[in-house]
A and B are shown apart, each in its own frame.
Chain A
């Protein structure tokens, strides 16, 4: 089933260039889908359109079968949450508990119920011991986990991560990536991740490549990532294993293309 359907969607910030240009794609329910593209290719714009932060010029978006329009906006925001790049720009509460509560308060959840919900989601992201802490005393990874808890507390079916780990250190990045995978695998949440991390793309179910506000490639990573020349022309990266395989070819050893190191080493062992 299609959880997100984007059809002929167009948006422009200044009426001269279309940041998103008659774009169409869909995201399968329960999938881990990645979107890649160079800076300015329209990735974040499409994310903002999907949650109704920006209004499209033409086209339509359906979230879980529901048409995105003014009337349905609040119902749609129950279904879809977003975590942005900068942990400091999305921490609004005075403490961790306040921050997780923010969305609940907006939804007029009764205060006697709220505590239990806050506890539950703080635990989910492993921040139970930090409920009274102020943001200034948290690391970037911890702040992002609080942002995720705030989103989870709204009980969405889809979460968009807009380069949510790009400002974190390797430890923070690993924590958040593990949490995202868990949400996808254990809770069957639909994940849409906008990223520059090619190794994250390798592990995803489906990848959509954007350029100039259009989809230029899409499919399973093992197919899409073999379009090496196109990817490099689009200012993107290719998996490390392919770089090694290409160099081996120059040295007269031709291997089957693999997008993972494991696959590459398996192929190397076949040679002997």
Chain B
């Protein structure tokens, strides 16, 4: 049940003198279980695009098909609620959206809202809190007593409780300390690999994109200007510079080594592989 986007355009303030087209004629296929990065400068259209995935925005032109459900431009679309269950959208700083007295109630809110019985909603909450890496003792606490990283996990548990097949995270590690950011990325990997969720990560952090995603979509000015496997994307820092993207540290290291005659293979992306190449070079010289 993949995501199919066909000729999608979206204009804000359509039919007024302020009309501004934020995304232009985008066509895209995202298969089940993919872990995709969506990158691009502020204002390039990333948020506009992802808000279509659960019908927070509706197309001005074109259509989307998500897990078999279609949304079209120029018609009154029905069944949007079902679609919103399929796609969980996690905004920046999702912890600001926590509101209930207890974490249990907060996580159970979504399922209840979709008609799940109270008892079952609580059972779901118990399961979800563990998936996000917190234990059941948290459930009776107030979400506001928790740390920033914990609050963010609780907010994500609330989204997971709706059992969406697709998860979209918008800058999920902004403001977290390095350990918190790494733990968060490991959680997304687990959701992708073990729970088979399709994950779309909107991020500015190229280290995360390189280390955790399989595919990179680059947006600029409302268009997708690059769509390729992650290894192809990070093969050369030239492409990245052209796209105005800061290369990850490992690419900088490879470039500096190349200048000084130390050769590291193009498709090397981890410290371990990189070091293996350096060791080989050094041994060759001895």
Chain A residues in contact with chain B, CB under 8 A? 37-40, 85, 139-141, 163, 166-174, 196, 198-199, 235-237, 240-241, 243-244, 247-248, 250-253, 261-262, 264-265, 268-269, 271-272
- Whether A247 pairs with B178 at a CB distance below 8 angstroms is no
Residue of A with least CB distance to B178: A237
B82 at the interface (CB under 8 A from A): no
- Whether B279 pairs with A268 at a CB distance below 8 angstroms is no
- Whether A169 pairs with B253 at a CB distance below 8 angstroms is no
Stretch of B28-36, B50-58, B154-162, B169-177 lying at the A interface: B169-177
Instruction: Write 18 A-B pairs (CB below 8 A) sorted by A numbering.
Output: A139-B42, A141-B42, A166-B175, A169-B42, A170-B206, A172-B42, A235-B178, A236-B178, A236-B179, A244-B274, A247-B272, A265-B256, A265-B257, A268-B262, A268-B282, A269-B260, A269-B262, A271-B285
- Whether B275 pairs with A251 at a CB distance below 8 angstroms is yes
B245 at the interface (CB under 8 A from A): yes
User: Which secondary structure dominates where chain B touches chain A?
Assistant: helix
A272 vs B43: C-alpha distance when bound (angstroms): 48
Give me the 5 closest cross-chain CB pairs, A-B, nearest first. Answer: A235-B179, A237-B178, A240-B249, A38-B177, A247-B275
Residue of B with least CB distance to A41: B177
- Whether A38 pairs with B253 at a CB distance below 8 angstroms is no
Chain B residues in contact with chain A, CB under 8 A? 41-43, 92, 147-149, 171, 174-181, 204, 206, 244-246, 249-250, 252-253, 256-257, 260, 262, 271-272, 274-276, 278-279, 282, 285
Residue of B with least CB distance to A271: B282
Q: B245 is contacted by which of A170, A172, A271 (Cβ under 8 Å)?
A: A170
Minimum CB–CB distance for A268 against chain B, Å: 6
In the assembled complex, which residues on chain A have CB atoms less than 8 Å from the CB atom of B176? Answer: 39, 196
- Whether A243 pairs with B180 at a CB distance below 8 angstroms is no
